[in-house]
Amino acid sequence: MSEVLDREVLDKGYAVPGALVSTQWVADHLKDTNVRIIESNEDPLLYPSGHIPGSVHVDWTNDLNHPVKRDYITRESFENLMSRIGVTAETTVVFYGDKNNWWATYAFWVFQLFDHTRAKVMDGGRLKWQKEGRPLVREVPQYQQTRYHAPERQDAKNRAFRDDVMEQIRKEGRLVDVRSREEYTGERLHMEGYPNEGALRGGHIPGAANVPWSRAANPENGTFRPASELRDIYLKEQGLNAHDPVISYCRIGERSSHTWFVLKYLLGFDDVRNYDGSWTEWGNLVNVPIEK
């Protein structure tokens, strides 16, 4: 990320400012052929109802997940996706979406499993873009198909599995539960207003700190809080250390990808992984420890 950085982002003091761009930066690069803007939402109807001009849609369910088993797409499927949306290894992809960029950071995280490091997130997502009165269109762009070559999926660096979590517990390492307080305590098995996604037991992984993902975002426009405020939340309040391994989790890995992005790119943590199995796996496992 050696290009000129976004001054609006630089002023927030992030560890890796090149991973984030402002809505103005996106507006200035709408016709940049080296940039592909990607919308990724929880609600699949949002993109067809209106999206940033020139942006493409990446659906988290159909485009990023394996069609049969609970896992992510293969290298071949990722190559096909990138070719279809007109991306090369030299293309900078910029993600944005609804829910204060829940699914944008989730898609960003999956792209990192395939080492596409030319990637950014638009600060504030759809909410900020719309609040500023910027244009949305319904026209779906067509880009020339590319021939994209990806490495084999690299799970170890950014992804945690249940055995990794067990080892983290054994070592008394740091875990961050980004769910609501009610989910963390076991009062709820799911987010308020959402269906139960199959967890049989409530509670949290032993030793996990509870830092709801939404604390990292400004509620009025969905932007990330400046680095100084994020350090207060994660380092001062919770005692996290940027040099210690940390695993974040939620229920299926979407909210925890938001916190993973905050810790890794905005605060510069050396070793942070997202446990995408999260509570839908842990809450159903036989003979694993749970606290309430």
- Whether residue 289 is predicted with pLDDT greater than 90 in this model: the reply is yes
For residue range 11-33, list pLDDT tens digits in order: 999 999 999 999 999 999 999 99
What pLDDT does residue 200 have?
86
Q: How confident is the model at residue 196 (pLDDT cuts 50, 70, 90)?
A: low
End-to-end alpha carbon distance in the chain: 43
- pLDDT tens-digit readout, 82-101: 999 999 999 999 999 999 99
In contact, 279 and 179? CB cutoff 8 Å? yes
Instruction: Write out pLDDT tens, residues 28-73.
Output: 999 999 999 999 999 999 999 999 999 999 999 999 999 999 999 9
Answer whether 96's CB lies under 8 Å from 126's CB: yes
Q: What is the residue-averaged pLDDT of the chain?
A: 95
pLDDT given for residue 190 in this prediction: 75
pLDDT at 244 over 90: yes
CA distance 96 to 18: 15
* Span 96-144, pLDDT tens digits: 999 999 999 999 999 999 999 999 999 999 999 999 999 999 999 999 9
In this prediction, residue 1 carries a pLDDT of 40
Q: Say what the pLDDT of residue 195 is.
A: 66
How many other C-beta atoms are found inside a 10 Å radius of the C-beta of residue 260? Answer: 32
- Tell me whether domains 7-153 and 159-282 share a fold: yes
Residue 130 among the catalytic residues: no
Measured in whole angstroms, the distance separating CA 188 from the mean position of its chain's CA atoms is 23
Annotated catalytic residue within 52, 250, 266, 272: 250
Using the predicted structure, report yes or no on whether residue 191 has a pLDDT greater than 90: no
> Any idea which residue has 């949290």 for tokens?
204
Would you say domain 159-282 falls under CATH 3.40.250.10? yes
Would you kindly state where each structural domain of the chain is located, as residue ranges?
7-153, 159-282
Q: What is the CATH number of domain 7-153?
A: 3.40.250.10
Taken in order 256, 272, 283, 180, the sign of the CA dihedral is negative
Q: CA 56, CA 286: separation in Å to the nearest integer?
A: 41
Of all residues in the chain, the percent with pLDDT exceeding 90 is 93
Q: What is the pLDDT of residue 178?
A: 98
pLDDT of residue 189: 81
User: Among candidates 291, 248, 266, which has minimal Cα distance to 158?
Assistant: 248
Mean pLDDT confidence for 254-281: 97
The model's pTM is: 0.96
